[in-house]
Amino acid sequence: MNLRKYLVLAGVSVFAPLGDSFLSYGMKQVGNISMRNIPDLLLAITNPWVGIGIILLLGFFATYMTALSWADLTYVLPASSLGYVLLALIARFFLHEQISLTRWLGIALVSTGVGFVTSGPEVTGRPPRHLANDGSVATEHS
């Protein structure tokens, strides 16, 4: 794996927890809203923290799609789960949330599992897929 791919995975791991944290902080300022009241939901987007959170989550989505274009989901998702550690640290020290010992142990367990997953190949053996002119997916064997 090259530096570019490591940076994409780092983007996935950083954009998601930062976006979620900004979104959480902003929504605590906005207060309770309901899906039944769409104007309140749209008004929440005008909160700067919510807006920054949405932009960061769009960055996550872009890097996540990029990673999935060259690696298996079973590689990308666990590799990006290191963001859980970052999210827990942000929630604890910046959002002042209390995190139980059980949650810390769960985060440590997930992080340990990531080491096993990322030591394997990023793509399992499968024929390359290409889009045919009609938009359908074709393999080299079809």
Q: What is the pLDDT of residue 127?
A: 58
Please give the radius of gyration of the chain, using alpha carbons only, rounded to the nearest integer. Answer: 19
pTM across the whole model: 0.75
pLDDT tens-place values along the chain, 142 residues long: 688 888 998 999 999 999 999 999 999 999 998 888 888 888 899 999 999 999 999 999 999 999 999 888 888 887 788 888 899 999 999 999 999 999 999 988 888 887 777 676 677 766 556 666 665 655 555 4
Q: How far is CA 83 from CA 29, 94, 110, 132, in A?
A: 24, 16, 10, 36
Angle of helix 3-30 relative to helix 48-70, nearest 10 degrees?
150
